[in-house]
Amino acid sequence: MKDYSLLFADSVRNLKPSGIRRFFSIAEEMEDVISLGVGEPDYMTPLPARQAGIASLEAGQTKYTANAGIAELRAEVCNYLDRRFGMRYTADQCVITVGGSEAIDLCIRTFVNPGDEVLIPEPSFVAYDAITRLVGGVPVSLVTKEEDEFRLSPQALKAAITPKTKLLVFPYPSNPTGGVMRKEHLEEIADVLRGTDIMVLSDEIYAELTYGDTHHVSFSTIEGMYDRTVVVNGFSKAYAMTGWRLGYAVGPEEVIALMNRIHQYVLMCASTTAQRAALVALQECDEDIEIMRADYDSRRRMVVDRLNAMGLHCFDPQGAFYVFPSIQSTGMNSQEFCERLVQEKRVAVVPGDAFGDCGDGFVRICYCYSVEHLTEALNRMEEFLKSL
C-alpha cells in the first residue's frame, strides 16, 4: 500500500473534518434517530421552478452556458436584489456559481495571499475557515457572544485588525446562531472599516429568512461599503433549491471579473438546468418565499418557547432557521451533550463547537422540519433533561 500521507499537499492534509459530519456519522450508524441537524428546507422547490427545469431539459437546453451564467438570469438576479433589498447592481457585476459555497470559495481565493488574515465572526458556517486555510490564509476568529445576540461588536473587530488583515467575512443572518445585524449595527461596523483597505465577504444566503420586524439590510448598501463588499447569495435556502446547487455573487465589476476567471477554469459554468429553474424562481416565486418564511417563523417560536421552558436557555433568533440554545445548565460540554442525547434518546443535534471553539456550551437545532417531527424531538429532549 502506498504511503499517500507524504504526497498530500500540506494545506489539505491539515484540513480538519467538519464537526457536523463527524457527529452525523455517529448518528447514521444508529436506528430510529430523529435529526434536527441538517440545515436545509423541508419544502420542495416551488412548482414553477421545477417545471422550468423540466421544460428546459425537454427543450434540449443541455449545453454549457456563458461562464458567468445566462445573461437573462444575471439581469434577473439584479432585478430581484433591487426589488427585495434595494441593492443596485448590473449583470456585469454578477457571477452565477455552484451554490453560495462556490461564491465563498471564489471570493476568498480572489483576495487572500498566503499569510493574509481573514476575520471570521464565530460561531459560524464551517466553510470560511477551511477555505481560508486551503489558500494559505490565516483565519482569525472574532468571538461573538450570546449576550450580544451573537452580533459582531465593532470593538472586537477593531481589536483584531492588523496590517495583514485582508478580508472580513460578514455572515448575517447567521448559521448557526440565527443572529442578525440591523442597519444601526452595520453602520458601526462600517465606521471601523472606513479608512482601511479591508474587503468584505457578506454572506447573505439567509437574507429572505428574517422574522418579527427584522428586514434584512445588505452590508453593501451602507454608505461607503459598496466598493469593498462582495455579496454572496443563492437559491438553496430562500427557494428550497439545495440540490440544484445554484448561487451567485455580486460586487464591484473588477472583482466579479476576477472571480469569474477562477470559475471559468474550475467549473466552466453552473448547471444549465438549474439556471433555467432559478430564472423562473426569481420571476414567479416571491409568494412561495413568504409562505415558507411564515411557516418557519411559527416553528421558530414553538421551538424557542419549548427549549426555554425545558431549561435550555436560548435568545430569540431573528434570522435563518436555527436556534442555538445554551446547554451550560446541564454541566456538560457540547460534544458530551450531543453524544448522550443521541445515544439515550435518539435525537441528533449539532454540537456548537463544530462552528468554532467559542460555540462550546451550545448546540445547533435546525427547525426546518415538520411540526410533528419537531414535537417528537423536543419531547425526547425534555425527557433527556429530566433524566439527568
Ligand X SMILES: Cc1ncc(COP(=O)(O)O)c(C=O)c1O
Q: Is residue 175 at the binding interface for ligand X, with CB under 6 A as the rule?
A: yes
Of the candidate residues 53, 121, 234, 356, the single one contacting ligand X (CB under 6 A): 234
Calculate the CA dihedral of residues 34, 127, 156, 160 and round it to 10 degrees: 150
Mask 21-60, x = binds ligand X (CB under 6 A)? Answer: ------------------x---------------------
Residue 210 makes contact with ligand X by CB under 6 A: no
For ligand X, the closer CB: 174 or 260: 174
18 or 221: CB nearest ligand X = 18
Q: How far, in Å, CA of 25 to CA of 200, rounded?
A: 34
Residue 21 CB, nearest distance to ligand X (Å)?
Answer: 13
With contacts defined by CB under 6 A, name the span among 72-80, 93-101, 183-191, 263-271 that binds ligand X: 93-101
Q: Please tell me whether residue 100 binds ligand X under the rule CB under 6 A.
A: yes
Min separation Cβ 309 and ligand X, Å: 28
Based on CB atoms, which residue is closest to ligand X, 170 or 384? 170
Report which of 243, 229, 180, 185 is spatially closest to residue 208, judged by C-alpha positions: 180
Please tell me the count of residues contacting ligand X according to CB under 6 A.
13
Find out whether the peptide bond into 48 is cis, omega within 30 degrees of 0: no
**Sheet of strand 94-97: strand arrangement:** 94-97, 247-250, 229-234, 199-203, 165-170, 117-122, 138-143
What Rg, from alpha-carbon coordinates, does the chain have?
21
Of these, 168, 205, 279, 304, which contacts ligand X (CB under 6 A)?
205
First to last CA, the chain: 48
User: Residues 305, 203, 35, CA angle at the centre, nearest 5°?
Assistant: 40
Work out whether 129 is an interface residue with ligand X (CB under 6 A): no
Nearer to ligand X, 144 or 345 (CB): 144
C-beta of 171 vs 361, nearer to ligand X: 171
Is 110 a residue that touches ligand X (CB under 6 A)?
Answer: no
User: Which of 98-106, 114-122, 263-271, 356-364 is the region at the interface with ligand X (rule: CB under 6 A)?
Assistant: 98-106
- DSSP H helices, the chain, are 10-13, 19-28, 47-58, 71-85, 99-111, 127-134, 154-160, 183-193, 253-266, 272-284, 286-309, 334-345, 371-387
**Cis bond before residue 114 (omega within 30° of 0):** no
**β-sheet bridge partners, residue 148:** none
Q: Does 275 bind ligand X (CB under 6 A)?
A: no
> Where in 343-372 is the site for ligand X (CB under 6 A)?
none
242 binds ligand X (CB under 6 A): yes
**Shortest Cβ contact with ligand X: which residue?**
99
Which one-letter amino acid corresponds to residue 338? C
Among 171, 319, 351, 361, binds ligand X (CB under 6 A): 171
Cα 24 from Cα 287, distance rounded (Å): 34
Interacting residues with ligand X (CB under 6 A): 39, 99-101, 125, 171, 175, 203, 205, 234, 236, 242, 247
